[in-house]
Amino acid sequence: MKFFVDTGSIKDIESLMPLGIVDGVTTNPTLMAKEGGDPRKIIKQICQLVKGPVSAEVIATDAPGMIAEGRDWAAFDEHIVVKVPFTREGVKAVKTLADEGIKVNVTLCFSPTQALIAAKVGASYISPFIGRLDDIATDGMGLVQQIVDIYRNYDYATEVLVASVRGPMHVVEAARMGADICTCPASVIEACFKHPLTDIGLEKFLKDWAAAKK
Ligand code: E4P
């Protein structure tokens, strides 16, 4: 499973890249607003650091506007994946952009029918928002399982990008279901590293080694 970082923070990315596990980045308007700089400049920097797929979201809500923004993003950097919300207008835009060879990540997916339609129009990625479903007492990971099953039946090329991830158990479940990618806040990636028995074990090994040398 690929790991993407869900962030607009250069600091987060710089700290995670040396680990060798970051395959890409997803951004959204909210994450970019948090950073407080020129979003385009920050996204350019992210592309240079990651050299992998970097999702940048369109702001227009009509298909012609989304298509124009999508083309502009695609020309901006070779690593850009255009993020388009799942709406009727969004679907039209995805079809046009995908037919032109532009990679599209369909965002704000909350149902298996949305995921099926996104795949049919040629989305490169579908982003089911798991945490936001869990937040309203709905089964977020259940949606991922349904999408994985549907895509396998038809051999769609669309990759399942698990989004709105809240903790390491979402990562575990995504991997068990065979999702292609999990996009995580930096804090969730850090949490995936931690195990108290590793810390306790290492402390004892170091102590014992020091004692043996005496
Ligand atoms: C994914 O592409 C989105 O940026 C993100 O995962 C949304 O997560 P949130 O529900 O924590 O805002």
Q: pLDDT in tens for each of the 214 residues of the chain?
A: 999 999 999 999 999 999 999 999 999 999 999 999 999 999 999 999 999 999 999 999 999 999 999 999 999 999 999 999 999 999 999 999 999 999 999 999 999 999 999 999 999 999 999 999 999 999 999 999 999 999 999 989 999 999 999 999 999 999 999 999 999 999 999 999 999 999 999 999 999 999 997 7
Catalytic, 83? Answer: yes
Residue 9 CA, ligand 1 centroid: distance in Å: 14
Are the C-beta atoms of residues 31 and 6 closer than 8 Å to each other? yes
Residue 196 CA, ligand 1 centroid: distance in Å: 28
What residue's CA is closest to ligand 1, atom 1?
A: 163
Are the C-beta atoms of residues 165 and 130 closer than 8 Å to each other? yes
- For the entire predicted model, the pTM comes to 0.96
Hey, what domains does the chain have and what are their CATH numbers? 2-212 (3.20.20.70)
Residue 164 CA, ligand 1 centroid: distance in Å: 4
Tell me the sheet residues that pair with 183.
4
Q: Which of 27, 126, 129 has the most ligand 1 atoms within 8 A of CB, as the residue to mutate?
A: 129
Q: Of these residues, 83, 204, 207, 214, which one is catalytic?
A: 83
Task: List the one residue out of 108, 110, 197, 118 whose CA is nearest residue 159.
Answer: 118
Residue 205 CA, ligand 1 centroid: distance in Å: 40
List alpha helices for the chain, DSSP H.
10-16, 29-35, 39-50, 63-76, 88-99, 112-120, 130-135, 140-154, 168-177, 186-193, 196-213
- Give the nearest ligand 1 atom to 132 CA: 10
Q: What is the pLDDT of residue 155?
A: 87
Q: What is the pLDDT of residue 213?
A: 76
Q: Which of 138, 164, 182 has the most ligand 1 atoms within 8 A of CB, as the residue to mutate?
A: 164
